[in-house]
Amino acid sequence: MRYLPLTEADRRDMLAAIGAPSVDALFGDVPAAAHLTQPIAGLAPHQGELQVERALSRLAARNVPAGSCPSFLGAGAYRHHVPASVDQLLTRGEFLTSYTPYQPEVTQGTLQYLFEFQTQVALITGMDVANASMYDGATACAEAVLMANRVTRRNRAVLSGGLHPHYRDVTATTTGVLGVELVTLPADPKGIEDLAAAIDDKTSCVVVQNPTLFGHIADLTPLAEACHAKGALLVVVVTEVVSLGLMPSPGSMGADIVVAEGQSIGNGLNFGGPYLGLFATRDKFVRQMPGRLCGETVDADGKRGFVLTLSTREQHIRREKATSNICTNSGLCALAFTMHLSLLGELGFTGLATLNHAKAVQLADKLAAAGVTVLNQGFFNEFTVQVKGDAAALVDTLAAEPILAGVPVSRLHPGQADLADLLLVAVTETTTEDDMDALVKALGGTL
């Protein structure tokens, strides 16, 4: 039992110091009938590293890593190259095994990187202020609707048909219990919906994803104006945060709240988690924000330092009147994000975005040349193609190659016959020309 330092002699000495006859006596408040006397059914005794590694490696070997074959999967999670130094630094024990920075004198490391993270998020989203992260993009989206309701004192949110259905569902689940009215527009594969028409005097916010689930991109400035004219807020959702290196920032287009999935920067795919939600807004709304905030101050010697601040918004002080119940967030994922974005810098971030977009254009052109229909006029690094027949069946067939051809729209919008032949195809800097040619061959061959 390599994680347990006490010896039998220690335990005897300690019981003697306590004055207890046995460890069982320490559990005297447990009702007699609730004491577990049998060993845990079916669980083997303790095992060495080698045995555990062997067992879990067997499970890992039964999965097809996305990096082991041509992969075009996106729809809210993207495979990017994470520089080696990011993970090396991330596993430093002082970062990995620290807790929430409640004692700022001995957690200036965590606090400073959170301050850097908040600044980076504010910069790339074009907003004034960002918090220290949420669980993921979808929960950040739900929190944004609740915040918009607090700010506007209204109770009706309009959700775009280009919003990722999982984000829509998390928002519906989270706000539904509070009686929030959601106006959800139908799936919008062609990028033609009219959101402005759905805004009225009771609308707290419009939630729009850019690029949309289907990859369409839009200038949101007119929509922001339409929102503001009716006293509503514009919430912009970004599921591929690398797009912010090339596309105009949501802030510059008039967004009031920006939420994003930050996984693309610094974080692996991890089968869907842990990821990190980014949450940014305008200065004037900061007291309505959910989640932790780190702020600058000085210490007793007048030196600059950082602390958690504006905590009276949070559950540990405000309890049932808190802006959210969130406590633990995605601190370490935020550190990975910050380190990766620091390595990229201005040149690297814009360069990475440009590379992603150019490769996506290259693939779209190759597919079009092979006779595959691409629905998008404009896109960032993901677009929608129309295949012959059922896209999900095609994806399953190609998985045997293996080629991970993309995400069939039907997996996200099930039961809609008009969407069954649509496939979301994502390209990143990790995609090679050979990968592209494999996909072109596979999809072109189905025509």
Q: Binding to another protein (CB under 8 A): which residues in 180-199? A: none
96 is a site residue for another protein (CB under 8 A) = yes
Q: At what angle do helices 137-152 and 165-176 cross, to 10 degrees?
A: 50
Single-letter code of the amino acid located at 320: E
Residue list 39-58, contact with another protein (CB under 8 A): 39-47, 49, 51-53, 55-58
Total site size for another protein, rule CB under 8 A: 215
352 is a site residue for another protein (CB under 8 A) = yes
Of 70, 136, 152, 188, the one binding another protein (CB under 8 A) is 136
Q: How far is the CB of 185 from another protein (least distance, A)?
A: 19
| In contact, 308 and 296? CB cutoff 8 Å | no
Of 151, 159, 172, 440, the one binding another protein (CB under 8 A) is 172
Q: Which is nearer to another protein, 198 or 310 (CB)?
A: 310
368 is a site residue for another protein (CB under 8 A) = no
Residue list 219-278, contact with another protein (CB under 8 A): 219, 244-249, 261, 268-276
Residue list 272-311, contact with another protein (CB under 8 A): 272-276, 286-287, 292-301, 303, 305-307, 309-311
416 is a site residue for another protein (CB under 8 A) = no
Q: Which is nearer to another protein, 82 or 200 (CB)?
A: 82
434 is a site residue for another protein (CB under 8 A) = no
Of 75, 195, 409, 440, the one binding another protein (CB under 8 A) is 75
User: ∠ CA(428), CA(431), CA(436), 5° rounding?
Assistant: 120
Of 122, 147, 257, 391, the one binding another protein (CB under 8 A) is 122
Q: Which is nearer to another protein, 53 or 200 (CB)?
A: 53
Q: How far is the CB of 183 from another protein (least distance, A)?
A: 18
Q: Which of 360, 355, 358 lies closest to 215, judged by CA?
A: 360
Q: How far is the CB of 209 from another protein (least distance, A)?
A: 12
Which region among 85-93, 154-162, 181-189, 228-236 touches another protein (by CB under 8 A)? Answer: 85-93
Residue list 143-162, contact with another protein (CB under 8 A): none
| In contact, 95 and 117? CB cutoff 8 Å | no
Rg of the chain taking only CA atoms, in angstroms:
25
113 φ/ψ sector (left φ>0, alpha ψ -120 to 50, else beta): alpha
386 is a site residue for another protein (CB under 8 A) = no
CA distance 429 to 359: 7
Q: Which of 280, 301, 436 lies closest to 372, judged by CA?
A: 436
CA distance 34 to 393: 51
CA distance 404 to 389: 17
Q: Which is nearer to another protein, 91 or 386 (CB)?
A: 91
Question: Is the four-CA dihedral 362, 364, 367, 368 of positive or negative sign?
Answer: negative
CA distance 332 to 399: 33
Strand order in the sheet with 382-386: 373-374, 382-386, 422-426, 407-408
